[in-house]
A and B are shown apart, each in its own frame.
Chain A
Amino acid sequence: MPVWGAVEGVQAKVDGKSANIAGVLGPERGLMLLVVMDVAGDLSLVEPARKALADGLEKAGPEVYAGLMRAQDGLQVVLDPTEDRVKFREAVDAQAVGGRAALLNTVETAVRLGDGIMEKTGVRLAVLYITDSNITNYREDYTNPVVNSSDSRDLSRRFPEGLVKERISRLALSVAARQTPLFIVHLDYRSDRLNEAYQTGLMELAALTGGAAEFCRSVGEIPSAVGKALEAAMSHHSVVVELPAGTAQQVTVTLEAPGGSLRHRTRFLIKDK
């Protein structure tokens, strides 16, 4: 699980009972950062994000390997994880803005990929989405647009966020069974009801995995939001906790360290049970 704070002497409890810590990986060890670009909208927002991303990674040490993927039209690898910052910058700069928003369609695959790598290699790993997605820009119909304009007594659209909520809840169950922390930087905060539900959903998804979501209300906030997400992804510890026998399918894990409070994910779904 991803943990932030001083982890020396950390102790774990699973559903209130003590549990063994099987391993801890900290920022001093390597990190595989899978960056997913989901940019289909405004050039003016994407450019500062590209720059902040490349600049932020240049400051990171060589132990951070960054890979690049694009989400539009299905998750696709653009650049395999590498410590080569020049290659990464070139790949990010070459990423076209366009297509359809796809975070909701690809996030489950992205964290599944992360889990697969972690399970087989044990590296510290995080997924970072850079997105300007707007719920109206999805190819799938989440907006429930009016089909019959002559139907003046239609009340079914009075609660328009229903489809978004339904999709988020399905994804939430899915990502809750994953271990990869998810970070999202949303470049274009919108305050209409549908997009609020969508953005709230993104926040919920990130929080479920132990990650976080940042939202930018102006162009000026983008560098700082990207920087914050990178910092959070790079600074987390990865702690392996041994589950006691007879643990239920849903568990609550708490970590305590003598050095101070830790921020970490607490709820897990055990998928294999």
Chain B
Amino acid sequence: MGVVRAAWLALVPVILFAQQQAPQEMQRAVEEFRALTQNMGLRADSPRRRAENGRKLPQWHGRLFENFRNNWLDAVPHEVVQRGGRQGMLRRSQFGFNVTGPVEIPWLYHGGRRTFFSFSYEGMRERVGRGNLRTIPTMAERTGDWSAVVDQAGLLLPIFDPASTSRNPNFDPGRAVSVENLEYNRAAFPGNRIPSSRLDGTAKRALEYYPAPNSDAGPFFRNNYFIFAPEVNRADGVIVRVDHNVGERHRLGFGLNSSNGVDGAAEWFPSIANPGPLSRDRRSRRGGMEHVFTRTPRTINTLTFEASTDQTANQPRLDERGNPFPNYRFVPYLSMGNSYPVSRNARNGFAVTNGFSARWREHRFRVVLQAARDQVHSFWPQYPEGSFRFSAGLTSLPGIVNTGHGFASFLLGSADYAEKSVVISPSYFRRTRGLVALRDQWELRRDLTLNIGFNIDVSTPRVEKHDRQSTVALDEVNPVNGRMGALVAAGNGRFGRAFQPTQVRPEPSMSLAWNVRGNTRTVARVSYSRSYSPIPIYSGQWGTQAFNGTLAWISMNQQLTPAVTLAQGLEAQRQFPDLRPEAANNTIADLVDSSGKQPTYQSASAQLEKELPGALVLTMGLAHSEGVNLLVGNSASNPNAIPLSALEFRDQLNDETFNRSLRPFPHYQRFDVYSSFPEGSYQRDACYARLEKRTSAGLSLTASYEYSKQMDNYSGPYGIQDYYNRDNEWSLTSSNNPHRFSMTYVYELPLGTNKALLQMNDWRRYLVDGWSLSGVTTMSSGEPVALRPQFNNTGGVVDSLRVNVVPGVDPRVSNQGPELWFNPAAFAHPGDFTTGDAGRTHPTLRQPGNQNHDVSVTKRFSVRADRTVEFSAAGFNFLNQANWTEPDMVIGTAAAPNVNAGRIIGSRGGRVIQLGLRVSF
């Protein structure tokens, strides 16, 4: 009933009549309801609806869209401006369509209310310039001229001639090695120049593929290579869904997602020696079927089957013989050649799930049964042409830090470590999982609901289709030295097809929702859960060392003798498969943890939600979570580590034989645990508040703030110092941002039709109708400062050395800014063969915070009642906010301090604009 003039005249007599005979009028209304619903096709016996022209009405809806980006719309990124660079090219087009509706096949099939489909296509074409600032050797260095090369303090970096090495007859073993008490004498190259006759031929040929410096960002000769290469990306994908109702009680659903793409990677070098990431082909397919059976209004059964595959393959750059370039590493310069140049991977998953839900009295039960099968197929040779590592040791003054250079060692062709991957065949890993999940939602009272859950999750360990798996068994005797630790293969000896036990995981959970004192405007919630996570199957061929080995060349003293020279090359030492117990000796051996420990998590939370006047909802809460046996990688776990007490042996540790003798498993250089060793722990506590402002005058807004503290004993960025004392590693998580604020908002401008302002009835309504503004703002405080010393002279005992704290010196500075973010004088470089006493991350110093503001403006045109055209302009970081980069956190020695320590040398970020057009029907 309303204000339409044509209508009210008819309504008045009706109302008068109704006032006298209401029941009869209601009966008339019921008759009218029946007639209208019949005509509108809303009754089971309604005829099919037809349009005016007699054709069946298509009821398809969907959209067409295009999103467009171009560099001329964007701001020049701050990091590019600061380097004096120019804006890179960007051309990006993202386009597609979606259509949804009943399946209609003329003359064949009328889906009506039974069969529906949805089809989406999206394509993307992109060409983008990627910027990257790196350090490469100067042209003079490449010819052996190191006369102008300086260290981080600006002092000449001396290069010593390894051929001149001799034992110092005056060495006093009772005193530490120092410039005054050298164990070995070695002469510096005259004029700090390596004679051209000494330069290795292979190194010289390799350098032909090395580009020349093109930047002088500095300091000194650092940051002298600005990479600005184009990257070409492409993707095409579809999503198809079909639903079919079989009667009132059965529904079948089918779905398929398919996507093909190329992740282009900008080449860092325009040559076969490119060390940058490789372009990759990607292909993914997902398919599923679902059957929903509504047995009664209170019992539902859902059966689903899902299958998926994700495949990737690197696009290698090969030479004329079909081989990739070898890998040469000489930190801190950009290396040459790539890892995994010819690798491919496929992950397949299959899952059958049955869920049964039933309601009984005050209980709602749900039982889920699931069986799943995972497959990972990998062909993953890391260095098929070999990898050579060149360190400063061979061109240093033995025992003295800040002498020698890895690239100088490369010029001499002397590597301190080398390895070569030999992969005979791909690996086909398998795993089976099962799940039984029980849930009871129990309405204890009208205002109190208890959820109780219990899962039993079972997973078998990883097996390989052809049993081509191996590990080091730490309780097997090695025949070479009689020490514990020997290579074992699956299916041989006491081992079955797997090295880990089948895991059964009981996972309880509970939550309670209470409308406090019956107040429906206030909900209190508490929850608790305990869960486990299975050990994942990673991509790669880790744990197959007996079948696909890595040959290793290890220097017996990195300061004195090379492991191998470039001239010698890498000759295969053994054939594969090699199942001998000692086959992995003298290598970095793959170690599969067979302890049965699994990552375990617990969490608890309490939350209060309260509706406030003014369409506001306030949510406040506390959350605690913790985990043990978390899987960590090689930077946080080393079962073959030398105890720190061995540092007392000082320079003897540089002798590989002596060094090895101190390790628990001396016949291995170390173990590769491949992010799968259950030794990590963490704890996180947080409180948060969230305010929702529901729509009011077209504005809706959500703001949330969280304060958190997360501690752990494993997180990066550099790894841990003492593998045998994890309590000493307990510090702030390296990624912990204690303060996080975010706000999202949508504002439908109060202009135009049916709005408060500018109600136009003529053509001008096309201008004023349909404007809206959306935004996302995020702000967070910085991550903890993680300091590290410039040098690590610990004879290979400590992988990640910390700095020392200087007592009584405040690490904070009064006017914190890019010139000085923290006080480097509060920290000191540890002495040779000592550890640092600072934490892995600093407890109070934080890196600069970050903020970002995105906004989107849209304008909708209503073409017809059911069609709109929408233009949008989205600005990402639309304020062009420059976020400072992290400060230089490297602490130099007292003799050669890092002049940049504590300083911030730049900022990053830049406005990005995307324009969009969408037609909806």
Q: Is B588 located at the chain interface by the 8 A CB criterion?
A: no
CB atoms of B15 and A249 under 8 A apart? no
Interface centre among A123, A179, A208, A247 (most CB of B within 10 A): A123
CB atoms of A270 and B3 under 8 A apart? yes
CB atoms of A153 and B8 under 8 A apart? no
Known contacts A74-B113, A170-B866, A272-B6: A63-B22 contact under CB 8 Å:
yes
CB atoms of A150 and B2 under 8 A apart? no
Nearest chain A CB to B189 CB, angstrom units: 47
Nearest chain B CB to A101 CB, angstrom units: 12
Q: How far is the CA of A240 from the CA of B4 in the complex (A)?
A: 9
Residues of A within 8 A of B1 (CB): 1, 23, 25, 118-119, 122, 124, 179, 238-240
Q: Is B23 located at the chain interface by the 8 A CB criterion?
A: yes
We find that the number of chain B residues with CB closer than 8 angstroms to chain A is: 130
CB atoms of A113 and B37 under 8 A apart? yes
Nearest chain B CB to A224 CB, angstrom units: 5
Q: Is A158 located at the chain interface by the 8 A CB criterion?
A: yes
CB atoms of A145 and B239 under 8 A apart? yes
CB atoms of B449 and A218 under 8 A apart? yes
Q: Is A88 located at the chain interface by the 8 A CB criterion?
A: no
Known contacts A150-B282, A225-B520, A240-B15: A98-B294 contact under CB 8 Å:
yes
Q: How far is the CA of A30 from the CA of B11 in the complex (A)?
A: 15
Known contacts A140-B100, A159-B774, A220-B513: A148-B237 contact under CB 8 Å:
yes
Q: What are 19 A-B contacts with C-beta separation under 8 Å?
A: A22-B15, A23-B12, A25-B1, A44-B443, A65-B29, A76-B42, A96-B249, A96-B297, A121-B32, A122-B1, A148-B235, A159-B776, A165-B772, A165-B774, A166-B870, A173-B754, A218-B513, A220-B515, A269-B753
Residues of B within 8 A of A124 (CB): 1
Point out the residue from A32, A148, A196, A223 that lies within 8 Å of B29, measured CB to CB.
A32
CB atoms of B754 and A172 under 8 A apart? yes
Which single residue of chain B is at the shortest CB-CB distance from A249? B761
Which single residue of chain B is at the shortest CB-CB distance from A156? B67
Residues of A within 8 A of B761 (CB): 248-250
Q: Which of B117-125, B470-478, B837-845 contacts its partner?
A: B117-125
Which single residue of chain A is at the shortest CB-CB distance from B17? A122
Which single residue of chain A is at the shortest CB-CB distance from B862? A173
In the complex, which residues 240-263 of chain B have their Cβ closer than 8 Å to any Cβ of chain A?
Answer: 241, 243, 245, 248-249, 251, 257, 259, 261-263
- One digit per residue, 1 when the CB lies within 8 angstroms of any chain B CB and 0 when it does not, for chain A 217-248 equals 11111011100000000000011111100011
CB atoms of A44 and B5 under 8 A apart? no
Which single residue of chain A is at the shortest CB-CB distance from B615? A203
Contact count A vs B, C-beta below 8 Å: 342
Residues of B within 8 A of A155 (CB): 67, 69, 874, 876, 912, 914
Secondary structure at chain A's binding surface: helix, strand, loop or mixed? Answer: mixed
Point out the residue from A82, A147, A203, A270 that lies within 8 Å of B695, measured CB to CB.
A203
B residues engaging A (CB < 8 A)?
1-8, 10-12, 14-19, 22-23, 25-26, 28-30, 32-34, 36-37, 40, 42-44, 61, 63, 67, 69, 92, 94, 96, 98, 100, 113-114, 116, 118, 120-122, 124, 126, 128, 233, 235-239, 241, 243, 245, 248-249, 251, 257, 259, 261-263, 282, 284, 292, 294, 297-298, 300, 310, 357-359, 364, 441, 443, 445-449, 513-515, 520, 523, 525, 609, 619, 690, 692, 694-695, 700, 702, 744, 746, 748, 753-754, 759, 761, 770, 772, 774, 776, 854, 856, 858, 860, 862, 865-866, 868, 870, 872, 874, 876, 912, 914, 916, 918, 920
Closest 10 CB pairs of A and B: A122-B14, A44-B364, A150-B261, A148-B235, A179-B2, A147-B122, A23-B15, A147-B237, A121-B29, A220-B447
CB atoms of B916 and A65 under 8 A apart? no
Q: Is A81 located at the chain interface by the 8 A CB criterion?
A: yes
Apart from A32-B33, A220-B443, A243-B3: 4 A-B pairs, beta carbons within 8 A: A75-B42, A119-B7, A150-B263, A151-B94
Point out the residue from B3, B690, B876 that lies within 8 Å of A253, measured CB to CB.
B3
Known contacts A22-B11, A96-B249: A139-B25 contact under CB 8 Å:
no
CB atoms of A204 and B695 under 8 A apart? yes
Contact residues on A (Cβ < 8 Å of other chain), bracket: 35 or more
Point out the residue from A25, A113, A141 that lies within 8 Å of B15, measured CB to CB.
A25
Residues of A within 8 A of B6 (CB): 272
Point out the residue from A145, A148, A165 that lies within 8 Å of B746, measured CB to CB.
A165
Residues of A within 8 A of B40 (CB): 109, 112-113
Residues of B within 8 A of A208 (CB): 754
Q: How far is the CA of A81 from the CA of B694 in the complex (A)?
A: 34
Residues of A within 8 A of B282 (CB): 149-150
Nearest chain B CB to A50 CB, angstrom units: 8
- One digit per residue, 1 when the CB lies within 8 angstroms of any chain B CB and 0 when it does not, for chain A 127-149 equals 00000000000011100010111
Nearest chain A CB to B309 CB, angstrom units: 12
Which single residue of chain A is at the shortest CB-CB distance from B126? A153
Known contacts A29-B18, A200-B695, A272-B4: A220-B876 contact under CB 8 Å:
no
CB atoms of B868 and A170 under 8 A apart? yes
Which single residue of chain A is at the shortest CB-CB distance from B619? A191
Which single residue of chain B is at the shortest CB-CB distance from A223? B446
CB atoms of B22 and A243 under 8 A apart? no
Nearest chain B CB to A189 CB, angstrom units: 9
Q: How far is the CA of A72 from the CA of B33 in the complex (A)?
A: 20
Point out the residue from A14, A65, A176 that lies within 8 Å of B30, measured CB to CB.
A65
Secondary structure at chain B's binding surface: helix, strand, loop or mixed? Answer: strand
Residues of A within 8 A of B744 (CB): 193
- One digit per residue, 1 when the CB lies within 8 angstroms of any chain B CB and 0 when it does not, for chain A 10-25 equals 0000100000001101
CB atoms of A123 and B25 under 8 A apart? yes
Q: How far is the CA of A96 from the CA of B292 in the complex (A)?
A: 12
Q: How far is the CA of A176 from the CA of B2 in the complex (A)?
A: 12
Q: How far is the CA of A81 from the CA of B23 in the complex (A)?
A: 12
Nearest chain A CB to B285 CB, angstrom units: 11
Q: How far is the CA of A27 from the CA of B502 in the complex (A)?
A: 68
Q: How far is the CA of A213 from the CA of B599 in the complex (A)?
A: 44
Point out the residue from A47, A97, A158 that lies within 8 Å of B854, measured CB to CB.
A158
Residues of A within 8 A of B235 (CB): 148, 150-151
Q: Is A161 located at the chain interface by the 8 A CB criterion?
A: yes
Residues of A within 8 A of B120 (CB): 141, 145, 147
Nearest chain A CB to B322 CB, angstrom units: 27
CB atoms of B746 and A200 under 8 A apart? yes
CB atoms of B32 and A97 under 8 A apart? no
CB atoms of A162 and B858 under 8 A apart? yes
Residues of A within 8 A of B19 (CB): 29
Known contacts A1-B2, A147-B257, A153-B128: A117-B920 contact under CB 8 Å:
no
Known contacts A149-B259, A179-B1: A141-B449 contact under CB 8 Å:
no
Q: How far is the CA of A225 from the CA of B521 in the complex (A)?
A: 10
CB atoms of B29 and A151 under 8 A apart? no
Which single residue of chain B is at the shortest CB-CB distance from A34? B33
Which single residue of chain A is at the shortest CB-CB distance from B13? A122
CB atoms of B874 and A159 under 8 A apart? yes
Point out the residue from A30, A158, A269 that lies within 8 Å of B876, measured CB to CB.
A158
CB atoms of A73 and B263 under 8 A apart? no
Known contacts A161-B774, A179-B2: A220-B446 contact under CB 8 Å:
yes
CB atoms of B42 and A147 under 8 A apart? no
Known contacts A155-B912, A158-B776, A203-B694: A141-B118 contact under CB 8 Å:
yes
Residues of A within 8 A of B858 (CB): 162, 165
Residues of B within 8 A of A196 (CB): 692, 700, 702
Q: How far is the CA of A48 from the CA of B513 in the complex (A)?
A: 15
Q: How far is the CA of A90 from the CA of B897 in the complex (A)?
A: 84
Which single residue of chain A is at the shortest CB-CB distance from B10? A119
Which single residue of chain B is at the shortest CB-CB distance from A202? B695
CB atoms of A166 and B297 under 8 A apart? no
Q: How far is the CA of A140 from the CA of B61 in the complex (A)?
A: 8
Q: Is A271 located at the chain interface by the 8 A CB criterion?
A: yes
Q: How far is the CA of A234 from the CA of B32 in the complex (A)?
A: 20
Nearest chain B CB to A60 CB, angstrom units: 13
Q: How far is the CA of A167 from the CA of B357 in the complex (A)?
A: 32
Which single residue of chain A is at the shortest CB-CB distance from B451? A44
Q: Is A261 located at the chain interface by the 8 A CB criterion?
A: no
CB atoms of B42 and A154 under 8 A apart? no
